[in-house]
Amino acid sequence: MKIVKTIKEVRDQVREWRKEGLSVGLVPTMGYLHEGHESLILKAVKDNDRVVVSDFVNPMQFGPTEDLATYPRDLDHDARLVENAGADLIFNPEPEEMYLDDFSSFVDMSTLTGGLCGKTRPIHFRGVCTVVSKLFNIVTPDRAYFGEKDAQQLAVIKHMVSDLSYGIEIVGCPIIREADGLAKSSRNTYLSEEERKAALVLSKSLFEEKKKIEEGLKDVKTIVSDIRTNIEKEPLAKIDYVEVVSWPDLKAKETVDGQVLCAIAVYIGKTRLIDNFIL
């Protein structure tokens, strides 16, 4: 397993693999890897001859008041996890390698990015689409792996790949959780002991409502209000949004029919956490 910092090194390596006729998978991450990332890497290793993991805290997807400066980083830990999972290359560029001083081209989307997380994080998906486009152009993978944990991101990337004819298969992977239900996230490290307990309100309220939907509840207003009521019982929690939309086109719904995404974003103290289920 190699760690490289430059676009040229990635291109040279991928060119060698291609000469041998090998397939290539890409797992884009911001590092501080956990079992959620690992599940994507393991799936990529299974599906492809060679796997590249990008490990890059992308400044472009953070708003001015967000946690770019404090986002956790640990490349040594990441390298061990990636190697043990059987991937071949970590691409860990500095921001200057990805964005030259006069950088001025962006990938922006006119649908899918305005609602859910896009409301609170208006420039987020422009940053995500731009960096993922660059990674696709650098690595030229056959397949790329994204977690359902970031369901809107998965929908956005699938749409972008279709719009821009990337010819890359986008593989969605299920949410990996802690034993008590909390969705694994690099940001869980921000939580104090008390906040960690409070954070359980996200998965608990979702599981409870999912069960009700499976038992026949269809009215979206009732579903949203049930989840809100449950979350509001937790004093450390402050709701950003609770929404039920169609999947994967993220349109507003009044009743549950066809595939739906039930997604929530909640501040626990200062930490913004997201969770969801697709039904």
By CB under 6 A, is residue 176 in contact with ligand AMP?
yes
Cis peptide before 141 (omega within 30 of 0): no
- Pairing of the two strands 89-91 and 143-147: unpaired
Report residue 115 as tokens: 């609602």
By CB under 6 A, is residue 127 in contact with ligand AMP?
no
Report residue 231 as tokens: 């979350």
What is the closest distance, in whole angstroms, from the C-beta atom of residue 34 to ligand AMP in the complex? Answer: 7
Cβ atoms of residues 153 and 128 within 8 Å: yes
What is the closest distance, in whole angstroms, from the C-beta atom of residue 186 to ligand AMP in the complex? Answer: 5
By CB under 6 A, is residue 38 in contact with ligand AMP?
no
SS3 content of the chain, % helix, strand, coil (to 5): 45, 20, 35
Name all contacts of 96-100 with Cβ < 8 Å and 24+ positions apart: 97/5, 97/6, 97/7, 98/56, 98/58, 98/131, 98/134, 99/59, 99/60
Based on its alpha-carbon atoms, the radius of gyration of the chain, rounded to whole angstroms, reads 19
By CB under 6 A, is residue 184 in contact with ligand AMP?
yes
Distance CA 59, CA 67 (A): 10
Catalytic residues: 37
Which of 10, 26, 40, 245 binds ligand AMP (CB under 6 A)? It is: 40
By CB under 6 A, is residue 128 in contact with ligand AMP?
no
User: Which of these segments, 30-38, 102-110, 233-241, 254-262, binds ligand AMP (CB under 6 A)?
Assistant: 30-38
Which of 42, 98, 173, 206 binds ligand AMP (CB under 6 A)? It is: 173
Q: Terminus-to-terminus CA distance in the chain, angstroms?
A: 38
User: Which of these segments, 87-95, 106-114, 162-170, 183-191, binds ligand AMP (CB under 6 A)?
Assistant: 183-191
Q: Tell which positions 207-246 bind ligand AMP, by CB under 6 A.
A: none
Nearest to 177 by CA among 210, 199, 208, 154: 199
User: Which of these segments, 109-117, 170-178, 215-223, 265-273, binds ligand AMP (CB under 6 A)?
Assistant: 170-178
Binding residues for ligand AMP, rule CB under 6 A, total 17
By CB under 6 A, is residue 150 in contact with ligand AMP?
yes
By CB under 6 A, is residue 149 in contact with ligand AMP?
yes
By CB under 6 A, is residue 124 in contact with ligand AMP?
no
Distance CA 249, CA 205 (A): 24
What is the closest distance, in whole angstroms, from the C-beta atom of residue 247 to ligand AMP in the complex? Answer: 15
**Using CB under 6 A as the criterion, which residues of the chain lie in contact with ligand AMP when the complex forms?**
29-30, 36-37, 39-40, 146-147, 149-150, 173, 175-176, 183-186
